[in-house]
Amino acid sequence: MKITQVKPYIMWGGDAGVKQFSSTFWGGGAGRNWLFVKVETDEGLYGWGEGSLVNQTPSIAEAVNMIAPTIVGHDAHAIERHWQVMFLHNRYRGGVIINSALSAIDQALWDIKGKALGVPVYQLLGGAVRSKIRTYAGAGDIQMATKLVQHGFTGIKTHGWYADKDVEEKKVVPWLREHIAGLREALSPDVDIMIDNHGRSRPALAIKQIEAVEEFNVLFFEEPIPPDNPECLKGLRAAGLKTEIAAGERAFNRWGFRPLIEEQLVDIIQPDICHCGGISEMRRIAALAELYGIQVAPHNPKGPVATAANLHVCASIPNFMTLEHVHPVPLFDQVQTSPMKMIDGSYALPTAPGLGVDLREDVIAANPYRFRPVIQAFCADGTPAHP
């Protein structure tokens, strides 16, 4: 079975339907673009993958077009061969653009292989080690968190800073303590609370933030500092914090994750299946983390194909913790021919061959790419800050 075509599709994921869940801060109401890739074969089978990255989808689509000739005409079953070709034969390899294109194509090839053999992809990864996959969603305020819990989520992630822009460090710690105290009071003790700091703080400030909320039993504190220098996490480790540290959404492939894992700088890694190298590489990253007792909570504010791909990896790895999920948006279901069903905040194991998700190309065409302005954060004196 030969690969005949590799086609990228960009669609606007929509924002009109998330107003009931969105707040003035959290990005759910801002909308985002999805980048899907369809790999076709000479036997009529095809597979879907996803490499979504908000504003960078046009660049990733061009990267898909650039990579496609290296695998077209070759055996669709040779997934590892294609992964190595796509990775090694780009002299300046790595980075979010090429890695996202590679990741999407890798997912699509696993989808084809599962369909050809008549089994869900997780069966090709060694089978399932659990019967369901737990998810969580992001909330900017108590009202939003309450609605998401009513929707079925049993875990809520919120932000570590009080605003997207015009930020002042002196306000952060007292605001965060009040914010998390309010969430904990409003939510059942059975609902986990997580904090995403978006890599905004200096190590010393991040320590103060975490210390301020430790009494509220936060499940994890994500990206406490910028991802550029993982060595700085050593200061947080030395501070004796009780709250677990999570990071890794902006790391690529096993080489990018190696310092986080081998130096045990975090308790939880967060690979993104759209950027880390796809299904193939996420499995390898998870296996490396397992050696050190580190859990996996994939970064996944994405579309339905990425979510489906994550379900198969999460079903098959022993150190899975929880899966991030996009806010409930109508197009997430509408673009699928048979929408996946989440019950009580979890997905059951997929049963259909391949990834178990198929897309409606008419819906994709009816919702073309939209430019989404990037968040620009500044300190009170005008200095650019981490958004």
**pLDDT in the model for residue 386:** 81
Among the four given CATH numbers 3.20.20.120, 3.40.120.10, 3.40.50.300, 3.40.50.410, the one describing domain 122-355? 3.20.20.120
Tokens of 168: 């002042």
Cβ-based neighbours of 343, under 8 Å, separated by 6 or more: 152
Q: What is the reported pTM?
A: 0.96
In whole angstroms, what is the distance from residue 134 CA to residue 289 CA?
Answer: 19
Q: Are strands 192-196 and 155-159 parallel, antiparallel or unpaired?
A: parallel
pLDDT value of position 164: 66
DSSP string, 228-259: T-GGGHHHHHHTT-SSPEEE-TT--HHHHHHH
Residue 21 confidence (pLDDT)? 47
Greatest distance between any 2 Cα atoms in the chain: 62
Residues of the chain with pLDDT under 50: 16-29
Q: Which residues are catalytic?
A: 198, 299
Strand 268-269 with 295-296, pairing: parallel
What are the DSSP calls for 262-309, one per residue? Answer: HTT--SEE---TTTSSHHHHHHHHHHHHHTTT-EE-------HHHHHH
Which pLDDT tens digit goes with each residue over 115-157? 999 999 999 999 999 999 999 999 999 999 999 999 999 999 9
Count the neighbouring beta carbons within 10 Å of the beta carbon of residue 31: 18
Q: Where are the domains of the chain?
A: 3-118, 122-355
pLDDT for 239: 97
What topology is assigned to 3-118 in CATH?
A: Enolase-like; domain 1 (3.30.390)
